[in-house]
Chain A
Amino acid sequence: MHLMRTLIGMTAAFALAACQTHESTTTEASAGAPAAPEFATVGQLAPDFTLADANGKSHDLSDFRGKPVVLEWHNHDCPFVVKHYASGNMQKLQKEYAAKGVVWLTVNSSAPGKQGHVSPEDALRLTADRNAAPAALLLDPSGEVGKRYRAKVTPHMFVIDGSGNLVYDGAIDDKRSTNQADVATAKNYVREALDAVLAGKEVATPRSEPYGCSVKYPN
């Protein structure tokens, strides 16, 4: 019963938040120096946040202003995430774009007791074991940041340009599957978005339907 009430409450909160953001978007247009909206929307400033990484160091999204940023929602045990790590796809993207000045932030919003929730030590060990290379591995066990980005799945991917605008929100690629073999033939939306940002061009596909496991938010 208690669980049920919490679920209903969260759903209502989400719907309410939806209405509020619509309003804030309209009022913001007249403001001189727009503040980032509370919820992530493509074409607007990405919501700022402060999160600690697995080493205990605190990061603000605004620290990285001037550089493109990737947000990768992560749960190491999710089969869709495994597809992109076991194939080496994610690590390759992380390294390739780090070399081009992109800041890659891996975010873990799994709540305690749920799949993908790890201690900072385990998070670091997993990163090392898989030879992953994010600029930081951010821990968001309360799910607050995930909900402000409306991160639905792992891996849900976001690309933010050097001016702090959200330019991509969606799937890593266009092959909804857990099959590693699909990586080779898929169109990678994150790569496309980053190449466009680095070339100073418009992102051709700014939104796509993300696919993966649900983000394991607290009940």
Chain B
Amino acid sequence: MKNLNKHNISDTGFKTPDGYFNSFEEKLLLELKLKEKVNTPGFKVPENYFTDFKVSTSIDNKPKSEPKVISLFRNQKWLVAASIAAIFIVLVSMPTGQNSSLDFASLDSDSIESYLLTNDFDSAELNNLITNPSDFETIILEETLNDVPLEDYLYNNMELEDLNLE
């Protein structure tokens, strides 16, 4: 008996979590109660589903190795040459300052026609102006100008020296 007493539970070194025995019954009963109410999910499968189950044969085409990935940028030399060519083309095609001035003579007739067609001109007046330039002259000559606006115009737009020269 003396030997048995030496092997009491405190000597084994085993421990249980706090409150383990207090909550053991509660845990067990709770689960048992639930299982009494319902212990299956209620799902079923078609007849012979597991017997006939086969993984789709298309997977037999398992890739032996990863497909080769071709980098779009692997050819560095080609990329550099293409970049230089692109920059050159852009520079050549850019308008320079020397070519920026335009005069009437440089306009082709198609452009003028297109401009006249797309702008809101009174076609009757335009036609009249082209076919009878004398009418336009008459209008100009018959136009009476008041002295004050005329003086203003001359004062703002003419140089005194120019008038003296005339």
Same complex = no
Q: Which residues does B use to contact A, with CB under 8 Å? A: none
